[in-house]
Homo-oligomer: A and B are copies of this chain.
Amino acid sequence: MPIQEEINTSDRLSLARFLTQVENGDPNARSLLDTLYLQSGRAHRIGVTGAPGTGKSSLVNRLTLHIRQTLNKTVAIIAVDPSSPFTGGAILGDRLRMRDLAGDSGVFIRSMASRGALGGLALATTQLARVFDGAGFDYVIIETVGAGQSEVEVASLAHSTIVVEAPGFGDDIQAIKAGIMEIADILVINKADLPGVENTERALRANLELGYNRTITRKAGHMDMSTKAKNEDSQWHPPIVKTVATTGEGMSDLLGALLKHREYLENSGQLRKLESKRLESEIMNLLQDRLTSDWIKKTGTRKMESAIQEVVNRRWSPNQAVDWLIEQSF
């Protein structure tokens, strides 16, 4: 059933339907997904992340408008709403603010609710970004709501990660944000017309200095001194950009910083290096899944169930159960 052959990714409705197939892990999506992958590798993936209330969605909205107006490039937005284990639902209200972009055929917005495993979300986002890339979109913006693990995942998918802050946030939750600071390629202080912007900037700068020094020290452990000296010179220093998303202030600065970061990634060889690493771990994960599903197909689930019972009843250890299960497949 080569259902995929009918899909034309330049038709919006067709593309939307295909994205749903991909998100659902539909096996029929595979052959077009393969084709699109071979055409991919041109889009710039931008991650936008930060705490709720910093104006992330408005910023994505404005940045997209700015890219459309000044560069005339196409933009796909993937809004990832990791459903909190607490609410069980996605926060889709922010999407309403995107209406400025609704009539523009050079913009495609896709909301994605996380369901279940974090690994599942990362895989689905990777594949959606790949579809947009292969379908010819120049920029793919991945926006995450919330804090924690999802930020780190975005950073590992994006070429450039923007961390959004706002005055009044974060002075008392530094410890929590320490990890988020490190993933930033560009720091944005949004709502820069509010009081307290100087304090926020000072705090961020202090954190950046600290982070920069530690990174150098840590990285130095893995390389000889000559490489170290070379890398210190070519290190990327995350700039701090002040914006007011509601008025569009600072958008040229932000786009300028993004273009500069892209240039840095290309010239330093980081782009290819990071891409290789990302693909390697993707291939390893796919291989693991395939080996396991092949094993289950061959051995059946009944043996698995009885092994679990032996472990629950403390007659076997988990390792002994796996020894037995591996023997069963021969």
Contact = CB atoms under 8 A, between A and B. Distances in A.
A175 B295 contact: no
Contacts of A315: 38
B318 A37 contact: yes
A181 interface: yes
Contacts of A38: 314-317
B307 A283 contact: yes
A282 B318 contact: yes
Interface in A39-54: 39-41, 51-53
Contact of A86 (B172, B179, B217, B325): B179
Interface stretch (A3-11, A96-104, A195-203, A272-280): A272-280
Contact of A146 (B175, B276, B319): B175
Closest 7 CB pairs of A and B: A86-B178, A37-B317, A148-B148, A34-B317, A291-B291, A286-B322, A52-B175
Interface in A284-312: 284, 286-288, 290-292, 294-295, 304, 307-308, 311-312
27 contacts: A33-B319, A34-B319, A37-B318, A38-B315, A38-B317, A41-B314, A51-B175, A53-B175, A85-B182, A86-B178, A86-B181, A87-B178, A88-B218, A146-B176, A147-B148, A147-B175, A148-B176, A149-B149, A172-B172, A272-B312, A275-B312, A279-B312, A283-B308, A288-B288, A288-B291, A290-B322, A291-B292
Contacts of A72: none
Given A30-B319, A178-B86, A283 B295 contact: no
A308 B280 contact: yes
A1 interface: no
A172 B276 CA distance: 40
A242 to B, nearest CB: 22
A225 interface: no
Given A34-B319, A284-B292, 6 more contacts: A34-B317, A88-B218, A286-B318, A287-B322, A287-B325, A288-B288
A211 interface: yes
A6 B19 CA distance: 59
A326 interface: yes
Contacts of A326: 287, 290-291, 294
Interface string A15-29: 000000000000000
Given A38-B317, A146-B175, A149-B149, A214 B87 contact: yes
Interface in A234-271: none
A284 B86 CA distance: 27
A173 interface: yes
A319 to B, nearest CB: 6
